[in-house]
Amino acid sequence: MSVPRDPQALAEACAAAMWADDTASQGLGMTLDAVGPGTATLSMPVTEAMTNGHGICHGGFIFALADSAFAFACNGYNQRTVGQHAAITYLAPARAGDTLRAEATELDRRARSGIYDITVRTDAGAVIAQFRGHSRTIKGTHLPEPD
Amino acid sequence: MSVPRDPQALAEACAAAMWADDTASQGLGMTLDAVGPGTATLSMPVTEAMTNGHGICHGGFIFALADSAFAFACNGYNQRTVGQHAAITYLAPARAGDTLRAEATELDRRARSGIYDITVRTDAGAVIAQFRGHSRTIKGTHLPEPD
Amino acid sequence: MSVPRDPQALAEACAAAMWADDTASQGLGMTLDAVGPGTATLSMPVTEAMTNGHGICHGGFIFALADSAFAFACNGYNQRTVGQHAAITYLAPARAGDTLRAEATELDRRARSGIYDITVRTDAGAVIAQFRGHSRTIKGTHLPEPD
Amino acid sequence: MSVPRDPQALAEACAAAMWADDTASQGLGMTLDAVGPGTATLSMPVTEAMTNGHGICHGGFIFALADSAFAFACNGYNQRTVGQHAAITYLAPARAGDTLRAEATELDRRARSGIYDITVRTDAGAVIAQFRGHSRTIKGTHLPEPD
């Protein structure tokens, strides 16, 4: 398999390679709806198993969805990239039965660092959380580099 | 059941009430190791199901553990309290087989707002992540208030 | 003087009232270039007096410019509003002789809370810093409310 | 001049070298009260010139003081180190006439990255702000390295 030159095809190929091994995101019931260079959209249904002692979705699952969108958005350049720092603001509760959608966009990318903004919404369109993630590239690629 | 006057007993009673309903933390395999006024320690084994496309623990699960420690630390005053904003810095990867422990301490609490710092370590003592959470009290109590 | 009903006129009137008392922003050489409902643009020349021990603009002044843009953006609804929490990422150094421009936009506003994103650029258009501020309304107005 | 081997003496020598060029911190009226490996305490009187349109100290000056404490704390190892990301939570207003003191401590330091926590208090001991800064070393030293 050759590494695509087209940025959109490259982002999709990287996402496919990552997704195959992403037991965590798959196990949480996420779907990878769309991906592009610096962008990604993932969805996740909130289940009863995700509710906490306040009877609402545990913030960790909302964060996990946003974090996965962040990961797919920043890994589309065939350069392994990890989260360094992330901040989330919770704006409204999510409840069992909601399907959440996280959309990630790239705010900045230079040298080995990137900044990504992720908005998490319910299927009704209500904004649940805002997330800003800082990434850093590490060694390695998702697809084998040509010799 | 009466509401304990002693701060430590109150924190433990609030935690017990919250924990009973915290399907999310229980489902992730967390244990509530210790709790006090403004403090909490929780542990969680990292399973294969928590690994992501980089072969390491998905950041969302590390965050979820820290977030639960944050929640138990800020809810020990019998006043329902939710996370508003949280930031996490990832310092080292966690792997399947590690047991992570999150310790939360209270940095500030005034009026309806609080700040909590959480350190996440492996069982070998290596620091995996630093988390700072901002809380806000909402209406309601964990234990019935006396008339 | 009556309180304008038009959102743009209201934002401008609030900004004029705030600016008159804003000794700090004026003293730092800032200019208020534009303001609207949830938006503000301010500029500031970097002087030699603003340089630090690395020979570049002290981060505090870059932050101050972004913070002022944040303040004017969130105070345009004739409701006194203060910063609660802010985070800045430094992307490139600024130097004496640069004129920095901070543009603030509103990401979210509900009940008493708001989130604002501010980008700081040099006059050459290079992005120097990204800032995200969280605001909260307090008691009081900038313009006298009608009886 | 030789580079001190003792960590405390090294931190003091680095601070002295940085302070001499730190026009910004000096111009804001700061004093460098104490410094050590990973720690620094700086003070700054709040002047009328630092007040904003709310009649209180502009957040930018509180941030600048914390940021300077952060800078001196992370630069004491004779390795040039810059701020990458910082977050501040404002807890109470500061007023003209207050003298603020910022104390920085090191939370983590590994490879090229560090995390520092800074608490800003009034002379009466009231906590005004909590700041967490993330640093990164760059090329260069404060004191000439031995051949």
Measured between CA atoms, how close is C61 to chain B, in angstroms? 24
Closest alpha carbon within chain C to D29: C49
Alpha helices in chain D (DSSP H): 7-21, 23-27, 59-74
Phi, psi of C19 (to 5 degrees): -60, -40
With tokens 């996402």, the residue in question is A15
B24 vs A65: CB contact, 8 Å cut-off? no
Q: Does C20 touch chain B (CB under 8 A)?
A: no
**CA-to-CA separations, B139 to A65, B13, B135, D102, in angstroms, rounded:** 28, 18, 13, 35
What pLDDT, on the 0 to 100 scale, is given for residue A94?
96
3-state secondary structure of B75: coil
Q: Does D131 touch chain C (CB under 8 A)?
A: no
Output the tens digit of pLDDT for each of chain D's 147 residues.
579 999 999 999 999 999 999 999 999 999 999 999 999 999 999 999 999 877 899 999 999 999 999 999 999 999 999 999 999 999 999 999 999 999 999 999 999 999 999 999 999 999 999 999 999 999 999 998 765
Mutate to test the interface with A, among C85, C103, C105, C108 (most CBs of A within 10 A): C108
Of A25, A57, A58, which has the smallest distance from its Cβ to B25's Cβ? A58
Contacts of D19 in chain C (CB under 8 A): 53
**pLDDT greater than 90 at residue B108:** yes
**pLDDT greater than 60 at residue B147:** no
What pLDDT, on the 0 to 100 scale, is given for residue B129?
98
Q: Which residues contact D20 (CB under 8 A, 6 or more apart)?
A: C53
Q: Does A116 touch chain B (CB under 8 A)?
A: no
Q: Where are the domains of chain D?
A: 7-137
Measured between CA atoms, how close is D97 to chain B, in angstroms? 24
Instruction: Please report, to the nearest 10 degrees, the dihedral formed by the alpha carbons of residues A53, A55, A60, A61 taken in order.
Output: 150
Q: Does B45 touch chain A (CB under 8 A)?
A: no
D134 vs A87: CB contact, 8 Å cut-off? no
Higher pLDDT, C105 or B145: C105
Amino acid, single-letter form, for residue C36: G
Query: Which of B53, B43, B47 lies closest to B96, judged by CA?
Result: B47
Contacts of C134 in chain A (CB under 8 A): 89
By CB atoms closer than 10 A (0-12, 13-18, 19+), residue A118 is buried
Q: Edge-to-edge strand order for the sheet containing B81-90?
A: A31-36, A39-45, A99-110, A113-121, A127-137, A81-90, B81-90, B127-137, B113-122, B99-110, B39-45, B31-36
**pLDDT greater than 70 at residue B23:** yes
B91 vs D107: CB contact, 8 Å cut-off? no
Q: Write out pLDDT tens, residues B26-49.
A: 999 999 999 999 999 999 999 999
The mean pLDDT value for C28-39 works out to 98
- Angstrom distance (rounded) from CA D33 to CA B104: 31
Q: Write out pLDDT tens, residues A19-56.
A: 999 999 999 999 999 999 999 999 999 999 999 877 89
Of C25, C57, C86, which has the smallest distance from its Cβ to D58's Cβ? C25
- Angstrom distance (rounded) from CA A98 to CA A120: 12
Q: Does D16 touch chain C (CB under 8 A)?
A: no
Contact B112, C113 (CB under 8 A): no
Contacts of B87 in chain C (CB under 8 A): 87
A67 vs B59: CB contact, 8 Å cut-off? yes
Q: Does C107 touch chain A (CB under 8 A)?
A: yes
3-state secondary structure of B113: strand
Contact D129, D62 (CB under 8 A): yes
What pLDDT, on the 0 to 100 scale, is given for residue B55?
80
C55-89 burial, b at 16+ Cβ within 10 Å, e below that, comes to: ebbbbbbbbbbbbbbbbbbbbbbbebbbbbbbbbb
What pLDDT, on the 0 to 100 scale, is given for residue D55?
80
- Helix (H) or strand (E) run with residue B73 in it: helix B59-74
Q: What ipTM did this prediction achieve?
A: 0.95
Q: Write out pLDDT tens, residues C127-147.
A: 999 999 999 999 999 998 765
Alpha helices in chain A (DSSP H): 7-21, 23-27, 59-74
The mean pLDDT value for C77-94 works out to 97
3-state secondary structure of C89: strand
- Angstrom distance (rounded) from CA C104 to CA C120: 9
Task: Report the half-sphere exposure of D98 (CA within 13 A, side-chain side).
Answer: 24
**CA-to-CA separations, B99 to A23, A111, B55, C70, in angstroms, rounded:** 18, 34, 16, 42
3-state secondary structure of C94: coil
Is the C-alpha dihedral spanning B32, B34, B38, B44 positive or negative?
Answer: negative
In which band, very low, low, confident or very high, does the pLDDT at A146 lie, cut at 50, 70 and 90? low
What pLDDT, on the 0 to 100 scale, is given for residue A1?
58
Please state which CATH number belongs to domain D7-137.
Answer: 3.10.129.10
Contacts of D91 in chain B (CB under 8 A): 108, 110, 113
- Angstrom distance (rounded) from CA A37 to CA A58: 30
Q: Write out pLDDT tens, residues A117-126.
A: 999 999 999 9
Contact D70, D135 (CB under 8 A): yes
Query: Which of C73, A16, B31, B130 lies closest to D116, judged by CA?
Result: B130
Q: Which residues pair with B34 in a beta bridge?
A: B41
Contacts of C107 in chain A (CB under 8 A): 130
What pLDDT, on the 0 to 100 scale, is given for residue B20?
94
